Chains A and B, each alone.
Chain A
Amino acid sequence: MSALTGDNAPDGGEGRAGALRRAVAATGDRRPRVALSVLLGTGAIVAAVALLALSGWLISRAAERPPILTLGVAIVGVRFFGIARALLRYLERLVSHDLAFRTLADLRVRWFRALVPLVPGGLPGLRRGEVLSRFVADVDRLQDLYLRALGPPLVALATIVLATAAAAIIHLPAALPLLVMLLAAAVLVPLATRSAARAAGRRQAPARAALTIDLVEIVAGAPELAVAGREGDWIARADGHGADLARLQVRDALAGAVAAGLGTFLAGATAAAVAWATIPAVHAGTLDGTLLATLVLLAMASFEGVQPLGAAAQSLDACADAAERLEAIADRPAPVVDRVDPVPLPPGGALRVEGLRVRFTPAGPWVLDGVDLRLEPGRSVALVGPSGAGKTTLAEALVRFRDPDGGRIALGGVDLRDAAQEEVRAAVRLDGQDSHLFATTLRANVGLARPEAEPEAISAALGRAGLGAWAAGLPDGLETEVGELGARVSGGQRQRIAAARLLLADGRFLIFDEPAAHLDAAGAGALLRELAGTARRTGQGVLVISHVRHGLDAFDEVLVLEGGRIAGGRPGAGRPI
């Protein structure tokens, strides 16, 4: 989180404003709807102001005891404005909420597309889980952009103009204090609210962070703390940090409350100022006395248009922060970019790695330093080696998740860098080390690459991955929900589902990165033997990357990756390394 905000911190305001502008631009053309929403919002406030101002006039006039008929028009007007206000408010809420949801849909797609080329490999140095959940929260936050941040200022502006104009028509000298006070409120209320909230946020951040650490540790480490007999210490710690935070919250609440009271106070002060500017004219007889109440009530009511600016300022701040963090991610260069005129891959041929060198930073150490490897259709290769040897980096290079910094990878003689990424990944399939189990059905998870696959084909793939009995025993079978919200799936089952997914895919080469890391010895051996057998059965080329050494006897070739190169291996099956 801090790593991200840190990126753009120096250019402060400009970066935030620019990020907001680009976020607005990203939502497609929503101007007609924005205009409609602002129009309805302004209409509702105009109706409210007119209602109160007209009521004031009505009563002042009534006090002069005119014939009741002369009041008829005003009485109808009061009812009209009252009903109009309620209806306009209702329509405005519908239009603005609809706008917010449309904006959200635009933003989700836009930022998802921006993220696509960066994963994996494009977000180095950022803790991925944290970045991604933050990313989703930020995208959701931006739905407030029109509803709560940009709409209210536009409505406020329209209100100020219309209220001042109306006051000017009735009595010009009253318009000046009204304009001044409305503008003052439009500036002061958001400033006061914002500075109170900012200061509070700044002061509270460390206390909040300390408390968060306590709670994360307690949620994750409760069993260890209990066994160690330290639960009392952590309770005291969380209580202490909680009390610190509460103390700051109470103090900052006072500042926030001052900002809340300010708007109400200014509205009353404005009414007094308008009265003060109008009374001389009434005394002098140049202005009808019935209009005094009209002006005063108009002044008070028009504050309804500027009151929401405090909350709008806070929303705008939050949106700007979110937009800035999102930009910081989206501005990162994609690790792999397609050529303008990609070359089609030939229909057959071997996948050859020649002198492959890769490093993560331009001057960093070589992770892969001259790897030579040949994968052929119908043959199985196992790649073993200590952790940190660069096995996963090699797998990523084979599917063009990253490009070589030296040497080359070619399929049927065509350098992968000259081919389109999509085409490479259709030919060379990867079951990555952290293959994701999506929150959907077992069928959709296994059939990811072939959504049209028959249930029998999916069951068969699950069977080959060692999950046949398990899947058959599920009450809902292939329609069982798995993933985050679904049935609980162990780490080993998760790996087997991912392996089944790849066995079902129709790639020419299948690469399994650590498919058996969470399996016991017998399970790992059986799965690896099955994967090796796939090559002979289907004619696909199979590469299995593993630190587990069970079942390697079934492979046509076993290679050892160490120190960034192939350090040894054996051709043929059966002999120990």
Chain B
Amino acid sequence: MSLGRGLVAFGFEAAGRVGAARVMGELRGRLVRHLLVARPGGLAGERRGELAAAAVQGVDALESYFARYLPQAVLAVLVPAAILAWVVPIDWPAAAILLVTVPLIPIFMVLIGRLAERSTRARWESLARLSAHLLDVVEGLATLRAFGRAERQAETIADASDAYRRETMATLRVAFLSSLVLELLAMLGVALVAATIGVQLIDGAIGLEAGLTVLILAPELYLPLRNLGAQFHASADGLAAAERIFAVLDEPATVRAPARPVPAPDPADAVVRLEDVSFAHPGRGEAVLDGVALALRPGETVALVGPSGAGKTTLAALLLRLADPERGRVSCGGVDLAAVDPAAWRRRVAWVPQRPTLFAGTVAENVRLAAPGASDAAVEAALRAAEAWDVVAELPDGLATRVGDGGRRLSAGQAQRVALARAFARDAPLVVLDEPTANLDPGTAEVVETAIARLARGRTALWIAHRPALAARADRVVTLEHGRLREIHGGAHGRVRADAREEAER
């Protein structure tokens, strides 16, 4: 019988984990599709690294829910039923006692469990806050030392940890009461059964073997219910972690593919227009773009300038169809892009973001990102055009050097030029480019600028320009401020040019 019990324990553990693995895969798959297809514009906020961690570990944390809590919940129903069925023919008075006491446990659990759930959640959240606080001061340690505040901060950490302990213990004293009540209930049930059996044995109503069987079975009846309470505490941690992923999945899609798409227009011979376009990030009231109108004529280069936070990146995202406008429309040759398949439109566009991502792989693979079929010669030509060939030449394995995660770390300027090479390899009629700003020294900035100008030649281009020098190379400069667009003509345009000349002379 013990072998049988061991086998059952094995079976439940195994089945639970297999199920958990399957659910985890499903959830991860949904997250990946959501990020790449439904909301490809990227996540708002700065905690992107955390989401990736949650998608690997947070989903794993669900395992305790699927592999432990859910099976235990099933056991909590099946086992008492099976034991009752077993006990009734042996000793019906004992069965009657069990039948009456067992429902008390779930009732009490619901009553106390609510309390326990709140306190578990509160505990998990305050622990997370405490970890975040330690990470925050550890990340700012150099700053704290520079201002002579490191020792004070150690005291603050001690105080915060102590306050957290007192606060948490206060909730735990109540939360653990649930287990105490459950144990006492189970104990009471077993004691009642034992007394009944005792009386029956003395009366000779049942034999010793039957009495022992019922006595051994009685605690087993309550065990799964009590375990369920314990697993509830464990699984709450996993669920709270996974909520982060559900929160992302709950965000609405920013791009919708039309059911019957029309063919994608070609910006090589058609004007791309933003027509009275407005856009607001959900949850944040103020509109990022507010009635913006802009035309990009074939072959012209437009520089977009404006203070940070003015909505320049959002405007670029709409052109790339990483998001669709809330009001107004983006069109090409008169065709509303909302009627075009997003992927088909994006095939006509090349994009150089401000902080490009290098994907794990070789330099050549990274250049081929947007042009998977490009020949070796085409890759080299693209790198040369992007002024990135000397970067590659310095790398230990040249084009075959691995970059990205686990590979060689390229500087911001080097990564920028590889991203430019991507755009050359793509050879698309429309180019959207976000100029690199910070931490390029003047020499490098000039080289990159030359390559950017070369990329715009013969194509329609929108540049998000941060330095006057680049804006001055454009055919036209427009300013975005507080979500509204202002075209700079003549004088203002001239001022930008003058600034640039001044800068170049310095």
B147 and A425 form a contact (CB under 8 A): yes
In whole angstroms, how far apart are the Cα atoms of A491 and B191 in the complex?
68
Task: Tell which of B43, B144, B177, B208 touches A59, judged by Cβ atoms closer than 8 Å.
Answer: B208
CB of A350 within 8 A of chain B?
A: no
Chain A residues within 8 Å of B12, by CB: 257
* Chain B residues numbered 6-34 whose CB sits less than 8 Å from any CB in chain A: 6-14, 17-18, 20-22, 24-25, 28-29, 32-33
B169 and A230 form a contact (CB under 8 A): no
Q: How far is the CB of B201 from chain A (nearest CB, A)?
A: 4
CB of B489 within 8 A of chain A?
A: no
CB of A408 within 8 A of chain B?
A: no
Chain B residues within 8 Å of A488, by CB: 45-46
CB of A217 within 8 A of chain B?
A: yes
In whole angstroms, how far apart are the Cα atoms of A140 and B183 in the complex?
31
Task: Tell which of A55, A439, A448 touches B215, judged by Cβ atoms closer than 8 Å.
Answer: A55
CB of A249 within 8 A of chain B?
A: yes
* Chain B residues numbered 347-380 whose CB sits less than 8 Å from any CB in chain A: 347, 349-351, 353, 356-357, 359-360, 369-370, 372
- CB-nearest residue of chain B relative to A426? B148
Task: Tell which of A59, A108, A226, A549 touches B36, judged by Cβ atoms closer than 8 Å.
Answer: A226
Chain A residues within 8 Å of B42, by CB: 222-223
Q: How far is the CB of A429 from chain B (nearest CB, A)?
A: 7
A116 and B150 form a contact (CB under 8 A): yes
The total of Cβ contacts below 8 Å across the A-B interface reads: 369
In whole angstroms, how far apart are the Cα atoms of A223 and B21 in the complex?
29
CB of B482 within 8 A of chain A?
A: no
A219 and B201 form a contact (CB under 8 A): no
A112 and B153 form a contact (CB under 8 A): yes
Task: Tell which of B6, B13, B127 touches A256, judged by Cβ atoms closer than 8 Å.
Answer: B13
In whole angstroms, how far apart are the Cα atoms of A241 and B466 in the complex?
40
Task: Tell which of A66, A104, A230, A520 touches B369, judged by Cβ atoms closer than 8 Å.
Answer: A230
Task: Tell which of B164, B179, B342, B437 touches A93, judged by Cβ atoms closer than 8 Å.
Answer: B179
CB of A319 within 8 A of chain B?
A: no
CB of A492 within 8 A of chain B?
A: yes
Chain A residues within 8 Å of B168, by CB: 97, 101
Assuming the contacts A62-B201, A226-B322, A257-B14, asked whether A85 and B146 have C-beta atoms less than 8 A apart, the reply is no
Chain B residues within 8 Å of A31, by CB: none
Q: How far is the CB of B284 from chain A (nearest CB, A)?
A: 9
CB of A39 within 8 A of chain B?
A: no
B372 and A438 form a contact (CB under 8 A): no
A90 and B506 form a contact (CB under 8 A): no
In whole angstroms, how far apart are the Cα atoms of A133 and B12 in the complex?
36
Chain B residues within 8 Å of A505, by CB: 147
Assuming the contacts A60-B208, A436-B140, A520-B466, asked whether A219 and B35 have C-beta atoms less than 8 A apart, the reply is yes
Secondary structure call for the B interface: helix
Interface string of B149-175 (1 = CB under 8 A from A): 111011001100110110011001100
Task: Tell which of A119, A221, A226, A260 touches B9, judged by Cβ atoms closer than 8 Å.
Answer: A260
Interface string of B458-494 (1 = CB under 8 A from A): 0000000011100000000000000000000000000
Interface string of B327-352 (1 = CB under 8 A from A): 00000000000000011001101110
Chain A residues within 8 Å of B322, by CB: 223, 226-227
B136 and A62 form a contact (CB under 8 A): no
A224 and B369 form a contact (CB under 8 A): yes
In whole angstroms, how far apart are the Cα atoms of A40 and B51 in the complex?
41
CB of B283 within 8 A of chain A?
A: no
Interface-facing stretch out of A76-84, A156-164, A337-345: A76-84
* Chain A residues numbered 319-354 whose CB sits less than 8 Å from any CB in chain B: none
* Chain A residues numbered 279-336 whose CB sits less than 8 Å from any CB in chain B: 293, 297
Assuming the contacts A98-B169, A387-B439, A576-B506, asked whether A62 and B202 have C-beta atoms less than 8 A apart, the reply is yes
In whole angstroms, how far apart are the Cα atoms of A63 and B158 in the complex?
61
B211 and A63 form a contact (CB under 8 A): yes
Q: How far is the CB of B36 from chain A (nearest CB, A)?
A: 4
A217 and B357 form a contact (CB under 8 A): yes
B1 and A213 form a contact (CB under 8 A): no
Q: How far is the CB of B494 from chain A (nearest CB, A)?
A: 16
CB of A216 within 8 A of chain B?
A: yes
A490 and B308 form a contact (CB under 8 A): yes
In whole angstroms, how far apart are the Cα atoms of A168 and B356 in the complex?
73
Assuming the contacts A224-B351, A246-B24, asked whether A213 and B360 have C-beta atoms less than 8 A apart, the reply is yes
In whole angstroms, how far apart are the Cα atoms of A143 and B42 in the complex?
36
B5 and A265 form a contact (CB under 8 A): yes
Q: How far is the CB of B282 from chain A (nearest CB, A)?
A: 15
Chain A residues within 8 Å of B157, by CB: 105, 108-109, 112
A269 and B307 form a contact (CB under 8 A): no
Interface string of A33-77 (1 = CB under 8 A from B): 000000000000000000110011011101101101001000100
CB of A145 within 8 A of chain B?
A: no
Q: How far is the CB of A123 from chain B (nearest CB, A)?
A: 10
A249 and B21 form a contact (CB under 8 A): yes
B3 and A268 form a contact (CB under 8 A): yes
* Chain A residues numbered 109-167 whose CB sits less than 8 Å from any CB in chain B: 109, 112-113, 115-116, 119-120, 129, 132-133, 135-137, 139-140
Interface string of A231-269 (1 = CB under 8 A from B): 100110011001100100110011011101110110111
In whole angstroms, how far apart are the Cα atoms of A82 and B22 in the complex?
41
Select the residue from A71, A120, A140, A249 with max chain B CB neighbours within 10 A: A249
In whole angstroms, how far apart are the Cα atoms of A235 and B141 in the complex?
39
Chain A residues within 8 Å of B33, by CB: 235
A219 and B52 form a contact (CB under 8 A): yes
A94 and B173 form a contact (CB under 8 A): yes
- CB-nearest residue of chain B relative to A517? B438
Assuming the contacts A59-B211, A65-B204, asked whether A82 and B191 have C-beta atoms less than 8 A apart, the reply is yes
Chain B residues within 8 Å of A216, by CB: 49, 52, 405
Q: How far is the CB of B48 from chain A (nearest CB, A)?
A: 5
Q: How far is the CB of B236 from chain A (nearest CB, A)?
A: 15
A/B interface sample: 25 pairs, CB < 8 A: A62-B201, A65-B201, A65-B202, A65-B204, A86-B184, A90-B180, A101-B161, A104-B161, A105-B165, A140-B131, A215-B55, A223-B353, A225-B36, A226-B36, A231-B37, A234-B32, A235-B37, A238-B28, A242-B24, A250-B18, A425-B148, A426-B148, A432-B143, A439-B133, A483-B136
Given contacts A261-B7, A264-B2, A437-B140, 18 further A-B contacts (CB under 8 A): A52-B219, A93-B176, A97-B168, A105-B161, A112-B138, A112-B157, A129-B139, A136-B131, A213-B405, A215-B52, A215-B55, A219-B35, A223-B42, A227-B351, A253-B17, A449-B149, A498-B143, A520-B466
- Per CB-CB distance, the 4 closest pairs between chain A and chain B, nearest first, are A268-B2, A436-B140, A265-B6, A253-B17
Contacts from A to B (Cβ < 8 Å): 51-52, 55-56, 58-60, 62-63, 65-66, 68, 71, 75, 78-79, 82-83, 85-87, 89-90, 93-94, 97-98, 101-102, 104-105, 108-109, 112-113, 115-116, 119-120, 129, 132-133, 135-137, 139-140, 208, 211-231, 234-235, 238-239, 242-243, 246, 249-250, 253-254, 256-258, 260-262, 264-265, 267-269, 271-272, 293, 297, 386-387, 399, 401, 422, 425-426, 429-432, 434-439, 448-449, 483-485, 488, 490-492, 498, 501, 505, 517-518, 520-521, 547, 549, 576
